[in-house]
């Protein structure tokens, strides 16, 4: 009797342990699905942000340096293909036991993707101008593994640049593997946190800044000068065209002003020459007038030398004028007459 009770207790404990283990296993699978879906979402968004920054940075650069763009395209395309493979594998692995978990995580990831990368600050839909970015976005969002069992991949762009081995890239790969292992071990202890839109936007901006710095560093100084020049001109072609048109208008106005100034200067020079000729011809005209007028010559002979020049071009006459001399002489004569009259009266007395 006692043996049967003990066996029943052992079976009960074993059953509870198995149930607990099963729950832990289910919970572990859910965490893994969440980790793969949300981590893949973050990596895809970061790579798209990096591609956006690369396209913007190379916007005004010559064709030789634009040969790097296909490499940047392929990096984003490879990430999109990897994302499709991860989701494809998670669906087929868990469709019989955890299909709902996978579906809920996938729908939530697509919702966050649209909010972060396809919505402007004002809440309006953001239209991507580059076709490859639009293609990757549609490829990420439109995954229907239930109705379409075909494994899809986006084609890569043709690359003209010669491939070169970079030891730093190998170090990054090793570091990336170690980081993934650590994160995967962490989800055994606690669920992987679902990223928020604000967190992802901040990480994208940080990645864009780092990408721009690396592009400027890895290309020659001429690229840096060209980049700075284009940034000074304006953020878009339309603004650049408006500024160029404004500068051309200012140049035309300056040319008109220069022409008007030159014409005014020429008129003043001609006027100056006319006045000079007029001044030079005046003495000759005066001499001819003097010869033809005896009365005037007579007046000139009876006028003091200084008075003859008075009122004409030249220095002002010095001393007392001839009229003033005549007045003094007349006053002296009148004074002499008065003295004579007084003497005559005394003699008569």
Sketch the domain layout of the chain as residue ranges: 19-233, 242-301
Partner residues linked to 125 by β-bridges: 119
Structural contact between residues 97 and 29, judged by C-beta atoms closer than 8 angstroms = yes
| Cβ(101)–Cβ(30) below 8 Å | yes
Angle between helix axes 2-57 and 131-141 (nearest 10 degrees) is: 170
Task: Print pLDDT tens along the chain (349 aa).
Answer: 556 666 666 656 565 666 665 656 778 899 999 999 999 999 999 999 999 999 998 887 776 667 889 999 999 999 999 999 999 999 999 999 999 999 999 999 999 999 999 988 887 888 887 999 999 999 999 998 888 888 999 999 998 887 777 777 778 888 888 888 888 888 888 888 899 999 999 999 999 999 999 988 887 655 655 555 655 555 444 555 555 566 666 666 666 666 666 666 666 666 666 655 555 555 554 555 444 444 444 444 444 444 444 334 444 444 444 445 455 455 555 555 554 555 555 555 4
Distance CA 263, CA 260 (A): 5
SS3 119: strand
What residues contact residue 227 under an 8 Å CB cut-off, 6+ apart? 57, 60, 61, 216
pTM as predicted: 0.60
């Amino acid at each position: 009797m006692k043996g049967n009770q003990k066996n029943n207790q052992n079976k009960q404990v074993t059953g509870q342990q198995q149930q607990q283990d099963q729950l832990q296993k289910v919970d572990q699978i859910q965490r893994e699905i969440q980790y793969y879906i949300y981590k893949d979402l973050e990596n895809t968004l970061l790579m798209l942000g990096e591609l956006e920054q690369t396209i913007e940075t190379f916007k005004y650069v010559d064709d030789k340096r634009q040969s790097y763009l296909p490499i940047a395209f392929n990096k984003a395309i490879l990430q999109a293909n990897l994302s499709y493979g991860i989701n494809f594998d998670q669906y087929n692995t868990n469709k019989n036991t955890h299909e709902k978990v996978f579906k809920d995580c996938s729908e939530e990831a697509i919702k966050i993707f649209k909010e972060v990368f396809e919505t402007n600050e004002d809440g309006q839909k953001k239209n991507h101008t580059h076709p490859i970015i639009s293609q990757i976005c549609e490829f990420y969002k439109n995954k229907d593994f239930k109705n379409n069992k075909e494994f899809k991949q986006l084609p890569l762009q043709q690359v003209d640049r010669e491939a070169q081995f970079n030891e730093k890239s190998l170090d990054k790969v090793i570091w990336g593997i170690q980081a993934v292992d650590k994160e995967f071990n962490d989800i055994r202890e606690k669920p992987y946190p679902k990223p928020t839109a604000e967190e992802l936007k901040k990480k994208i901006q940080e990645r864009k800044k780092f990408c721009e710095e690396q592009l400027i560093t890895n290309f020659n100084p001429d690229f840096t000068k060209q980049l700075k020049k284009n940034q000074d001109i304006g953020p878009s072609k339309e603004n650049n065209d408006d500024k160029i048109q404004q500068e051309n208008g200012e140049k035309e106005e300056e040319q008109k002003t220069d022409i008007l100034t030159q014409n005014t200067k020429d008129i003043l020079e001609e006027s100056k020459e006319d006045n000079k000729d007029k001044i030079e011809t005046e003495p000759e005209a005066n001499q001819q007038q003097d010869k033809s007028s005896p009365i005037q010559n007579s007046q000139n002979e009876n006028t003091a030398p200084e008075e003859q020049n008075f009122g004409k071009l030249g220095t002002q006459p010095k001393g007392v004028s001839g009229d003033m001399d005549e007045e003094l002489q007349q006053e002296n004569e009148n004074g002499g007459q008065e003295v004579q009259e007084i003497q005559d009266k005394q003699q008569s007395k």
